[in-house]
Copies of this chain bind each other. A is one copy, B any other.
Amino acid sequence: MTKEQLFQQITHKRTFLCVGLDTDLAKMPTHLREADDALFLFNQAIVDATAPYCVAYKPNLAFYECYGVKGLAAFERTVAYIKQHYPDHLVIADAKRGDIGNTSTMYAQSFFAEGHVDAVTVAPYMGEDSVKPFLTYEGRWVILLAATSNKGALDFQMTADASGERLFEKVLRISKDWGSSENMMYVVGATRGSLFSDVRRIVPHHFLLVPGIGAQGGSLHEVCQYGMNEQCGLLVNSSRAIIYASTGLDFADAAAKAASEVQQQMDEKLKAHGL
């Protein structure tokens, strides 16, 4: 999917919501847990219910890998289901990968050649040769960690060098030349508020994947105020607040309602920015 296609989806559907598929057996409705393919069945119902209100899905690999081979099969089946039934939705593998060049090449192959996801999240610590192998696939995206939403982001990401440049700023400045705003996005946590202004000074045109609204407490208003650009430039993720809106028989309806409410807020934000 190109940046222009993503922008068109956003303006057409009046939403820039990404639904995070952090699918956890312990949190899903009890009537589903017993099924052999519970992870997939849950995802299928959530996707069918929320597709009108979002432009992207983000399955989090950790939640599938913890069930071993069976979990990975559920991940693959989920990706295939979305691609078959909702081909206009961006599928992001939230994997936080990154290793030396020949290893990153294998990871890139996993996700982009063998798998069919559109984007993968990548960690920047190991530098250019750990990221570039992911950038060789036409129409696919690297989403590089910049300023994450968690408390631990303060441990290293905010450290300033002698010139005053913080690590997340250096990551943005250096890495933006590895690709372009056509094949790279950045993770910037919704909990970081006005820091979005600092991010936009360095990468005005890139899309940002924004976790941290909902369960983590970030503000959609602040994210849009400081982070929205001329092509929206935001994919705001919500996982738990949508997919676990109810743990009863009505879980899919409740997810649709939660996603729809976010979509309406996003429509307002798009209008307010003339989009």
Contact = CB atoms under 8 A, between A and B. Distances in A.
Interface stretch (A119-127, A192-200, A201-209, A228-236): A119-127
Interface in A140-181: 145, 148-157, 159-162, 167, 170-171, 174
Interface string A32-44: 0000000000000
Nearest to A105: B62
Contact of A72 (B68, B103, B124): B68
Integer count of this chain's copies in the complex = 2
Nearest to A70: B69
Nearest to A63: B106
Given A156-B127, A160-B161, A76 B67 contact: no
Interface of A: 22, 24, 60, 62-63, 65-69, 72-73, 76, 94, 96-104, 106-107, 109-110, 114-115, 123-131, 145, 148-157, 159-162, 167, 170-171, 174, 211, 216
Sort A-B residue pairs by CB-CB distance and give the 10 closest, nearest first. A127-B152, A127-B155, A62-B106, A66-B110, A100-B150, A129-B152, A128-B152, A62-B103, A65-B110, A66-B106
